[in-house]
Amino acid sequence: MTKKILLIAGDGIGPEVVLQTKKIIDFFSQNSDKKFETENALLGGCAYDQMGTPFPQETLKLARASDAILLGAVGGHKWEALKYEHRPERGLLGIRKELELFANLRPAKVFSALADSSTLKREIVDGLDIMIVRELTGDLYFGQPRGVETLKDGTRRGYNTMVYTSAEVERIAIVAFDLARQRGKKLCSIDKANVIETTEMWREVVSEIGAKNYADVALSHMYVDNASMQLVRNPKQFDVMLTGNMFGDILSDTASMLTGSLGMLPSASLGAKINGVQHALYEPIHGSAPDIAGRDIANPIATILSLAMMFRYSFNYENEANIIEKAIENVLVSGIRTADIAKAGEEKISCSQMGDEILKEIKKIHK
């Protein structure tokens, strides 16, 4: 059966990294029994420029009709001064919310060939393989009330609401426990239960589920400040980390740097399975990097790894996912580097050359 993939290239380096990934989609479509059909949609700043909104209805319609979505990145300096509802980020947050993509999987895996590219010592990061499970549709990002108001004395008051229901905590905890069960059977849940009641409840709910259904998974809890410190002190102590939306945003950027570059980290954002249909969006965790956009120097690996995640989680194409990941590993082992992962004095290749090298390797493995 042909799978429909919606490509949302977005802003900045988004179109460049998505283009490299599309080459791989096309390769499998033409050379294997896996068939794909792609379509393009606008989101973010480019959508605002062309349609007057960062999240066009047409994009939502196409997203709903697709089997999976591949997104590049949204945002850029150009749109920063716009009103809140017109900013590119509203497009991304809008699609996450509309499709209820509550489960954000952010694996931070260090390719041994890149262990020296990390700002941390090789022995701290070599062999690292952690999975951050970030709740994506609740918390401070969406909580009401929110806003900025002007007080009587002319000063202003800004406010946001950290909010979770126990049902929301439960469904994301189940995703994390299930993943932990398939991996190292260790789950660390991150909160700030010593100060913030919402997260105290979070801790209670996670504990209850663990005690009830996951006796085989070793559950621990950690305050977020400590977790951020432990991630750079001794990241290999973690297997699966479970966090809310806000803490997960921050911790996953930290985790990405352990792997050498923001340009290496893929992600999957999964919805609930309803009547056999599960919406899912795959994207690199890096942003639109406007400073390097249009120069063909970005690293497409995070986006290509996101495609591997799509093959694995949306389509169950484990073999093809493994081929992509193996090809990337081989390319890195052979010393091929984009600028972000090259060390001083090493030759750097372009974004499109990296795409070609990975494709060449895929062809070799896929005979």
Site string for ligand IPM, 300-319 (x = CB under 6 A): --------------------
- # residues near Mg ion by CB under 5 A: 1
328 binds, among Mg ion, ligand IPM, none (CB under 5 to 8 A by kind): none
Catalytic residue among 141, 164, 282, 317: 141
Q: How far is the CB of 63 from ligand IPM (least distance, A)?
A: 16
Among 249, 325, 340, 361, binds Mg ion (CB under 5 A): 249
Reference 75, options 339, 282, 286; nearest CA is 286
**253 catalytic per annotation:** yes
Tell me: does residue 92 bind ligand IPM (CB under 6 A): yes
Say whether 217 sits in a helix, a strand or coil: coil
Between 133 and 332, CB nearer to ligand IPM: 133
Tell me: does residue 108 bind ligand IPM (CB under 6 A): no
Tell me: does residue 6 bind ligand IPM (CB under 6 A): no
Strands (E), 224-309: 240-243, 268-274, 277-282
DSSP codes, 54-105: SS-HHHHHHHHHSSEEEEEE---GGGTTS-GGGSHHHHHHHHHHHTT--EEE
Between the CA of residue 351 and those of 105, 335, 336, what are the distances in Å? 25, 15, 11
* Contact call for residues 283 and 72 (beta carbons, < 8 A): yes
Q: List residues bridging with 186 in a β-sheet.
A: 218
AA letter at 291: D
Among 78, 82, 89, 230, binds ligand IPM (CB under 6 A): 89
Instruction: Report the site for ligand IPM in 109-138 (rule: CB under 6 A).
Output: none
Tell me: does residue 340 bind Mg ion (CB under 5 A): no
User: Helix and strand tally (H, E) in the chain?
Assistant: 12, 12
Among 205, 285, 301, 358, binds ligand IPM (CB under 6 A): 285
89 binds, among Mg ion, ligand IPM, none (CB under 5 to 8 A by kind): ligand IPM
**225 catalytic per annotation:** yes
**H or E element in which residue 311 lies:** helix 301-313
Between 43 and 285, CB nearer to ligand IPM: 285
**83 catalytic per annotation:** no
* Contact call for residues 171 and 273 (beta carbons, < 8 A): no
d(CA 175, CA 103): 7
Among 67, 249, 296, 340, binds ligand IPM (CB under 6 A): 249
Binding segment for Mg ion (CB under 5 A), chosen from 73-81, 96-104, 191-199, 249-257, is 249-257
Tell me: does residue 43 bind ligand IPM (CB under 6 A): no
Reference 302, options 363, 256, 367; nearest CA is 256
Residues ≥6 apart with Cβ < 8 Å to 220: 186, 187, 188, 189
Catalytic residue among 35, 84, 116, 225: 225
Catalytic residue among 3, 22, 109, 192: 192
In the complex, the residues that contact Mg ion under the rule CB under 5 A are 249
Q: Which residues are catalytic?
A: 141, 192, 225, 249, 253
In the complex, the residues that contact ligand IPM under the rule CB under 6 A are 75, 89, 92-93, 249, 285, 287
